[in-house]
Amino acid sequence: MASTYTAGDAAAYERLMGRWSPLLAERLIAFAGLEKGETVLDLGCGTGSLALALARRTEPGHILGVDIAPPYVAYAAARSADPRLAFHIGDAARLDLADASVDRSFSLLALNFMAAPSRALAELARVTRPGGTIAAAVWDFTGGLVYQRIFWDTAAALDAAAARARARQLSSPLTNDGELAAAFAAAGLKEVEACTLTIRQAYQGFDDYWQPIRNAEGPVGDYVKRLPPERLAALEAALEAAYCAGGADGPRSFAASAWAAKGSVG
C-alpha cells in the first residue's frame, strides 16, 4: 500500500531530516528499552537512522529495516556492513514476516505517512512476540516542529495553496496530542505509555536552513518544487526574514518535539 510521502532522493531526505533523526532515534530507544540478543524490527526505516542507532548498541542480535521506498532501502543498506543489519523493501500493511518472529518493533517518523496506520500497527502486533514491545514516534507538526511551522506559516501568508498544504500537514493522522497512544490501544496493545521526545535542530545560518527545504522530499518538497521561479524567490526572501527575525543571519537552534508511545503485545 503506497505511502503518502514522496520518497525518491535519499540524499535529499538526509539533508532535510535525516541529520536530525539519529538524535530522536536515541531518545526513542531509551524510552522503549532494549534487551540482549533481541531481534528488532524498524518499520518505515527510511534511510536507516534508527536501525543504525540500534546497531551502535551491543544488545540487538539482529536488526531488520523495512521500507516501501526502494531508493531509501538501498541508501540504508549501503551505510553499514554490520552483519546484524538487514534491509528489505516491504509494505507495512502486509509484512512478509512470520507471526511472533521479532522481539521488539520500532517505527520512527513514519506511521503518520503510511496509507493505513491502523493496519501497520496490526501487522506490528502480529509479527512481535507476545510480551514484546512496540514503540513509535511521530512529529508534533502543530506545536512541536518549529523549523517546519516557520516554513508553512510563511508560505501560507503568501499563497493559498500553501495554506491548504499546511492544513493537510497539521491534520496528519497520529500527530496530535493523544492520537498515537489511542491508536496503540486500539491495536490491542497493553500497558500503553506515552511521552514527548524533544531534540534541537541547529542550523549554521539561513542557507543551511533553506537549501534542504529547496530540495526537500515529502510534503515540503511537493509544494516547493511546484513553484515557478519568481514565487520561489519570493518565498526564499520571506523565509530569510522569518529565520533572521530581525537579527543578523547566523546560527539558530530550534526545538523539535515528537509524540511517542509504547505498548506490549498481549
Its domain, for residue 235, covers 10-264
Nearest to 100 by CA among 144, 134, 132, 77: 132
The number of distinct structural domains making up the chain is 1
pLDDT digits (tens, 9 = 90+) for 14-62: 999 999 999 999 999 999 999 999 999 999 999 999 999 999 999 999 9
- Residue 248's CATH number: 3.40.50.150
Collapsing DSSP states into helix, strand and coil, what is residue 254? Answer: strand
Q: Please report whether residue 1 resides in a domain.
A: no
Residue 85: phi and psi, rounded to 5, are: -90, 140
Nearest to 216 by CA among 2, 17, 32: 17
Q: Please report whether residue 84 resides in a domain.
A: yes
Q: Determine contact, residues 165/220, Cβ cutoff 8 Å.
A: no
Q: How many CB atoms lie within 10 A of CB 47?
A: 27
Q: Please report whether residue 2 resides in a domain.
A: no
Q: Please report whether residue 83 resides in a domain.
A: yes
pLDDT digits (tens, 9 = 90+) for 66-123: 999 999 999 999 999 999 999 999 999 999 999 999 999 999 999 999 999 999 999 9
Q: What pTM did the predictor assign?
A: 0.94
Q: Please report whether residue 3 resides in a domain.
A: no
